[in-house]
Every structure is written in C-alpha cells, then in structure tokens.
Amino acid sequence: MTRRPRTVLAMSAVARERLFTPESLDRLRAVADVEASLAEAEVLLTGWGCPPVDVAAAPRLRAIVHAAGSARAIVTPACWARGIVVSTAAAANAQPVAEFTLAAILLANKGAPAAARDYRERRGRIDALVEYPGIGNRAKTVGLVGASRVGRRVIELLRPFELRVVVADPFLDAAEAARLGVERRELEALLAESHVVSLHAPALPATRHLLDRRRLALMRDGAVLINTARGALIDHEALTDELRSGRLDAVLDVTEPEPLPPGSPLFALPNVVLTPHIAGALGTEVVRLGDAAIDELARYAAGEPFAHPLRPEDLDRVA
C-alpha cells in the first residue's frame, strides 16, 4: 500500500531549482509529504549543498535519497549504524559522463584535437591523408580503467564502433567480461596496448595516484589519456612531465587540485584539452537526476526496494 512518507529536501536553493521542474515537484508532492520538519522526517531527499547527515537531529530518519552521483560525503557512519537505507542518482549521472567520454574517445582516435591545433596555427591547407596516417576509429584499442556504472555505459556506447575494448578492474571476472563483450587486462598490460585510456575508477586511498610515473611511462607513444573520474587517480606532476615531452595527449575534465592554480603548466600545453568538470549532469541533464530521485522515493513509499541502492559494502568500489 502506497503512503506519503514525511520528506525533507536537504539541498541548496540552486540545486532544488535545477533538479526539479514544476511538473516534477507536483509528482514529488503526490508521493511524499515534503512539508515535514527534520525532527519528523522519515526520508531526506538530498542534493548538492547538503552537509553530512546528522542522525541525532533526525530521530525518525529511515531513508536517504540522494539526487546526485556520489553520496559518500553526506552519508555518515552513524547513518549506516542506524540501518538507514540509501539510494543515489549515480546511474542517472553516469549517462552524461559516458556520453562525454564517448565523444572524447572518438575525437581522440580521429586526431581532432591535434588537427584543430595544427589548422589554427597554420591557417592554411592540411593534407590530412598524408599528415595523419594513423588516425581513425577502426582497429584501435580503447582501455577502460574501471567497470563502474560509467565504465559499463561507455562499453555499451562503444559497441557500434570497430574498436577493441579492454578493461582493468579487480572486481571484474572473466564471465562478466565475456557478458560485456570486453577483454580483461591487468592495468599495466592495458596501459601498454591501448591507443586511448579512459579512467572510470573511484577515488579511494588505494587508488590515489593509480597512474603514477611508472605506469604512465608504460603508455604507448601517442596515446591519449582521458579522465572524467577523479583528479586524484593521476600523479599530475608525472603526467605533466609526460605531456611536456609530447609523448602523450590528455583530455582532463577533473584534476588535482580542482580547479587548477592559474599558473599550472597544463593550461599552456598544446596537447592537453582541459574542461572545468562538465562531464557529469549539467544544464538540461540535471532534471534527469531529480526524476530518478523521485522514482526512488515512489518505490520507497510503495514499500518496494530501491532500484539503485548504496550499501556499506559498496563503498570500496564507488566514488
């Protein structure tokens, strides 16, 4: 039997404005009592701008529905200790990140960033057939580091193309790799054979500087490194040295630190495409996260399990 759980919106005013259309707010009010106080709240519908959840201030809290990707910063150990169930919109946020990654892979294999740079500098005819004999999205190897939600969506989006996809992930077994239609690789082997390497691993103590100086040196000459995950996955000093040498190219949507200091050499290097953390849901895509959260709240109200739960045992493999 469906009921209307008392729910508090815990997010910034800007997040609320971006996440919910008038129509979706009507749907939200149809499935929940959103006028509840924190002391009465059974559910927190959280988003950007929400601080870590203080369970002492919400004695009746039973569920957190997070309308964003990572809930790690707001779900405290006390939440898990109480048995509060948690859902996130990470699956909805994975879609735009995967789309951005797909575009970056296809443009990298096509040599578009380098060709655009050459054309801008030369301002004359480019004989692409002669000058770029190795470009193209056929018979290239794409290496994905992490079979995460984003990594798996990237695998799906790459299927129409004549590309070989290899994946490094300690949680990916042979049977699952076969089901996904990819080849498993140890990280070092993946780096050595891939024309494009794209990172989709979480930022954890164990993954900090996963791509260090030694591993970056394994990448083949002319390879492109794409990072839409977390800046801490890469040793940026070592990467800067590789990029200065001209041996590698990079597409970096996330960095360490973020934002980069104004004097960072990455801004000036011609073989680096820098974007200001735009791969995740932005603009017209943000409403998808709000809709996903309302869907989860409706499931909770109907006594059904979350479709996209976050569990304590997942924390060693999610962002």
Which residues are part of the catalytic machinery? Answer: 230, 258, 277
Q: Return contacts of 173-178, CB within 8 angstroms, 24+ apart.
A: 176/147
Nearest to 161 by CA among 99, 102, 76: 102
Distance between CA 75 and CA 52 in Å, rounded?
6
Give phi and psi for 16, each to the nearest 5. Answer: -60, -45
Tokens of 80: 């898990």
Give phi and psi for 226, each to the nearest 5. Answer: -115, 130
Q: Give the pairing type, strands 85-88 and 309-310.
A: antiparallel
- Enter the DSSP assignment of 124: S
The single residue listed with the structure tokens 């309308």 is 67
The single residue listed with the structure tokens 């630190």 is 257
Task: Evaluate whether 14 touches 49 at the Cβ level (below 8 Å).
Answer: yes
Distance between CA 103 and CA 95 in Å, rounded?
12
The total of other beta-carbon atoms located within 10 Å of residue 233's CB is 22
Q: Which helix (H) or strand (E) holds 116?
A: helix 112-122
**Where does 61-195 show beta strands of DSSP type E?**
63-66, 85-88, 138-145, 162-168, 183-184
Residues ≥6 apart with Cβ < 8 Å to 123: none
Tokens of 270: 């011609």
